[in-house]
Amino acid sequence: MIAVLAGGVGAARLLQGLVQVVDEEELAVVVNTGDDADIHGLHISPDLDTITYSLAGASNPETGWGLAGETWAAMDALERYGGPTWFRLGDRDLATHLHRTGRLAAGATLSEVSAEIASSWDLRLALLPMSDDAVRTRLRLVSGEEVEFQEYFVKLRHAVAVSAVRFAGADRARPAPGVLEALSAADAVLVAPSNPVVSIGPILAVPGIAELLESRRASVVAISPIVAGAALKGPADRLLVELGGESSAAGVARVLTAIAGTLVVDEADTALAGEVERAGMRCVVAPTVMRTPEVAAELSRVALAAAGAGADGGRVVS
């Protein structure tokens, strides 16, 4: 069994490699739901859907999120009403949100619905929301205003400075059924190259999860989402700096060292190995920019090997 902590696009890329290396049924993915949102009354779970659509081979290859060949009749019609249309909901994607919202309204849990949706797309891995309880990532802007994650990420295109991040509801949230079991039973836990602040952070904020990982950090391997000082996608680099850290693989190490024993950094960051080590993590160097599924598969092999759970790979530099 392999468990993965996952955000959205970066995690989906890694998983597309991992399923080439590990039997899908041996995989449990614990997914961030801190950026879930209620939009037009629908329960949207962007990271769960990105992973589902990606693994189903149905995602839009250009954006990495949403469905390929999508149509936009509902959004176009919504323009008439003058309400918010910054969160783009494709017609086919809407079906997922309608189903999820209807099932939740009927009393199903988010983990039940997520499993149903994954199964409907013929996925065989365990797709676990981090919690069935509502946790909402909220960002305080330097203006003093606090916004929900999707407003920051989509509406404001994360082009605003952030002074603080909190995960509303996390202190009362319980890990979803199966999460602690999977993280406990797994031969290795991988932390996907997702934003450590707003994708991995919410997962670790659910009581019980970080504690469990700390207790087994030697077989927890994280992959740095920062390459040569910059995020491949999204605001991870700026958020790390804005919240007092550093936009580098070493900065990532300082955020994740409590729960992961090893950090896989890109070859471009070989020189940072010493800094990663000083942050308390073993450093493994490998190509981490997943331009193709082959690179993702090789990166998966490296990470599993670093966790002592698979074929060897990568270059351990510390």
The residues binding a copy of itself (CB under 8 A) are 38-43, 71, 73-78, 80-84, 89, 91-96, 98-99, 101-105, 116-117, 120-121
Minimum gap (Å) between residue 67 Cβ and a copy of itself:
8
CA distance 70 to 254: 40
| HEC sequence for 190-215 | EECCCCHHHHHHHHHHCCCHHHHHHC
What DSSP element (H or E) covers 3? strand 2-6
- Nearer to a copy of itself (CB atom), residue 84 or residue 274: 84
- Nearer to a copy of itself (CB atom), residue 46 or residue 193: 46
Minimum gap (Å) between residue 152 Cβ and a copy of itself:
19
- Nearer to a copy of itself (CB atom), residue 104 or residue 168: 104
b/e sequence 28-40, b meaning 16+ C-beta within 10 Å:
bbbbbbbbbbebe
Amino acid, single-letter form, for residue 100:
R
- Nearer to a copy of itself (CB atom), residue 53 or residue 167: 53
- Nearer to a copy of itself (CB atom), residue 67 or residue 260: 67
Minimum gap (Å) between residue 101 Cβ and a copy of itself:
3
User: How many CB atoms are closer than 10 A to CB 185?
Assistant: 11
CA distance 222 to 270: 16
Minimum gap (Å) between residue 50 Cβ and a copy of itself:
16
Q: How far is CA 272 from CA 45, 96, 226, 248, in A?
A: 35, 42, 12, 8
- Nearer to a copy of itself (CB atom), residue 95 or residue 161: 95
CA neighbours closer than 13 Å in the CB half-sphere of residue 272: 28
Amino acid, single-letter form, for residue 150:
Q
Asked if 30 and 190 count as a contact pair (C-beta separation under 8 A), the reply is: no
> In the structure encoding, which two tokens stand for residue 152, read together?
């920051």
Minimum gap (Å) between residue 58 Cβ and a copy of itself:
10
Minimum gap (Å) between residue 297 Cβ and a copy of itself:
28
Minimum gap (Å) between residue 178 Cβ and a copy of itself:
21
User: How many CB atoms are closer than 10 A to CB 257?
Assistant: 17
Contacts of residue 159, Cβ cutoff 8 Å, sequence gap at least 6: none
CA distance 33 to 18: 21
- Nearer to a copy of itself (CB atom), residue 94 or residue 213: 94
- Nearer to a copy of itself (CB atom), residue 105 or residue 161: 105
Minimum gap (Å) between residue 174 Cβ and a copy of itself:
23
